[in-house]
Amino acid sequence: MFNPLEKIDEYHWRIPRSYKPGMKVEGLIYADEKLLKDIYRDKALEQVANVAFLPGIVNYSLAMPDIHWGYGMPIGGVAATDIDKGGVVGAGLVGYDINCGVRLLKTNFQYDDIKDKIRDLVYALFSDVPSGVGSKGDIRVSAKEEKELLLKGASWAVEKGFGCQDDLECTEENGAIAGADPDAVSDRAYERGKAQSGTLGSGNHFLEIQVIDQLYDRDICDRLELDLGQVMVMIHSGSRGFGYQICEDYSRGMIACLQKYHINVPDRQLACAPVNSDEGKQYLGAMRCAANYAWVNRQCLMHLSRKSFERIFSMSWQKMGMALIYDVAHNIAKIEKYTIDGKEKLLCVHRKGATRAFGPGNPALPERYRDIGQPVIIPGDMGRNSYLLVGTKKAEEDTFGSTCHGAGRVKSRTASMKSTNLNTLLKELESKGIIVKASGRDTIVEEAPQAYKDVNDVVNVVHNAGISKRVCRMRPVGVIKG
Q: What is the Cα gyration radius of the chain?
A: 21
Q: Average pLDDT of 204-226? A: 94
Question: What residues contact residue 454 under an 8 Å CB cut-off, 6+ apart?
Answer: 380, 384, 407
405 is catalytic: yes
Dist CA 21 CA 186 (whole Å): 38
Dist CA 61 CA 423 (whole Å): 42
Beta-bridged to residue 206, according to DSSP, are 236, 481
Dist CA 389 CA 439 (whole Å): 31
Q: What is the pLDDT of residues 274-289, one digit of tens each?
A: 999 999 999 999 999 9
Contact indicator for 295, 169 with CB cutoff of 8 Å: no
Q: What is the pTM of this model?
A: 0.94
- Tell me the percentage of the chain whose pLDDT exceeds 70: 94
DSSP code at position 229: T
Contact indicator for 217, 471 with CB cutoff of 8 Å: yes
Closest C-alpha among 195, 192, 234 to residue 98:
192
Give residue 35's pLDDT: 95
Residue 253's SS3 state is helix
Give residue 196's pLDDT: 58
Residue 240 pLDDT class (50, 70, 90 cuts): confident
Beta-bridged to residue 344, according to DSSP, are 339
Give residue 197's pLDDT: 55
Dist CA 263 CA 442 (whole Å): 41
Contact indicator for 391, 357 with CB cutoff of 8 Å: yes
Q: Which of 182-191, 226-235, 372-381, 438-447 has the lowest average pLDDT?
A: 438-447
Residue 244's SS3 state is helix
Dist CA 232 CA 224 (whole Å): 12
φ and ψ of 141, to 5 deg? -130, 130
Continuous segment of H or E residues that includes residue 352: strand 343-352
Dist CA 198 CA 136 (whole Å): 8
Closest C-alpha among 65, 20, 68, 14 to residue 41:
68
Give residue 198's pLDDT: 53
Residue 234 pLDDT class (50, 70, 90 cuts): very high
| CA 368 centroid distance within chain | 22
In order of their start, the domains of the chain are: 6-481 (3.90.1860.10)
pLDDT at 195 over 70: no
Q: What is the pLDDT of residues 112-138, one digit of tens each?
A: 999 999 999 999 999 888 754 444 555
The Cβ of residue 316 has, within 10 Å, a number of other Cβ atoms equal to 11
Catalytic-role residue among 68, 330, 405, 463: 405
CA atoms within 13 A on the CB side of 1: 4
